[in-house]
Structure 1
Amino acid sequence: MIVVRDIFQLEFGKAKEATALLKQGRDALKRDGYPTERLLVDVTGDYYTLVMESTFDDLAAFETSMGAVGSSEAWQDVYKRFTPLVRSGRREVFRIVE
């Protein structure tokens, strides 16, 4: 099993709007096999951080879901509105040990 964390540094003051958009996008992601279990926001550290956390059986399952999401019109609509709210981002992938 792996955990994927998509970490976004948002533009100043855009956390509520970005979080609302990702909540809308979760349904589209789940339909396409990208199971977003949690949305996390910063308490300490860099301000305006939003994390989307997902779990997959393995890297192959993650790659398959990425392909499906890339062709999803519903997700692309959310993504177009989400990207202007993001200053930068990165992805972390972890193997679950226990």
Structure 2
Amino acid sequence: MYIVREIFYLQFGRYKQAKVLLDEASKGGLMPQTSGNRFLTDFTGKSYRLIFESSYASLAEFEKGLEKEMGTTDWKQWYEKFKACVSHSEREILKQIS
């Protein structure tokens, strides 16, 4: 099992706008539809982060999901709006060992 965390560091003052866009994407089916999906925000530590966490049986499954979701016109249009809220991002891919 692999756990993927997409970590977005938001620009100061953009959390509310990013949250509205996240809700829009969730309702519109634009986010990965895998088991273990979670949307998180920071409570302590580095501020103004949105973290999208999802689980995949294999890295091939993750890659297939990226191609499927990120290839749609709706997702690309949504992501252009979301990017305006983000200062930078990173991705963590973790392997569950027990």
Same fold (TM > 0.5): yes
What is the DSSP-based 3-state SS (H/G/I as helix, E as strand, rest coil) of the residue aligned with 1:21?
helix
Alpha-carbon distance in 2 for matches of 1:64, 1:43: 32
In the alignment, residue 56 of structure 2 is paired with which amino acid? F
Alpha-carbon distance in 1 for matches of 2:38, 2:17: 17
In the alignment, residue 71 of structure 2 is paired with which amino acid? S
Aligned match of 2:30: 28
Name segments (4+ residues, structure 1) moved above 3 Å. Answer: none
Alpha-carbon distance in 2 for matches of 1:4, 1:19: 20
Aligned match of 2:61: 61
- Do 1:2 and 1:58's aligned partners in 2 also have CA atoms closer than 8 Å? yes
Alpha-carbon distance in 2 for matches of 1:93, 1:87: 21
In the TM superposition, residue 23 of structure 1 has moved relative to its aligned partner by 2.4
Structure with bigger helix share is: 1
TM-score by length of 2: 0.88
Deviations 1:35-83 (A, max 9, x none): 3711101111111011000111110000011111221112112101000
TM-score by length of 1: 0.88
Aligned match of 1:90: 90
In the alignment, residue 78 of structure 1 is paired with which amino acid? W
Structure 1 regions of 5+ residues with no counterpart?
A: none
- Do 1:4 and 1:94's aligned partners in 2 also have CA atoms closer than 8 Å? yes
Query: How many residues get paired?
Result: 95
Alpha-carbon distance in 2 for matches of 1:97, 1:13: 38
Taking only the aligned residue pairs, the percentage that are identical comes to 33
Alpha-carbon distance in 1 for matches of 2:65, 2:44: 31
Structure 2 regions of 5+ residues with no counterpart?
A: none
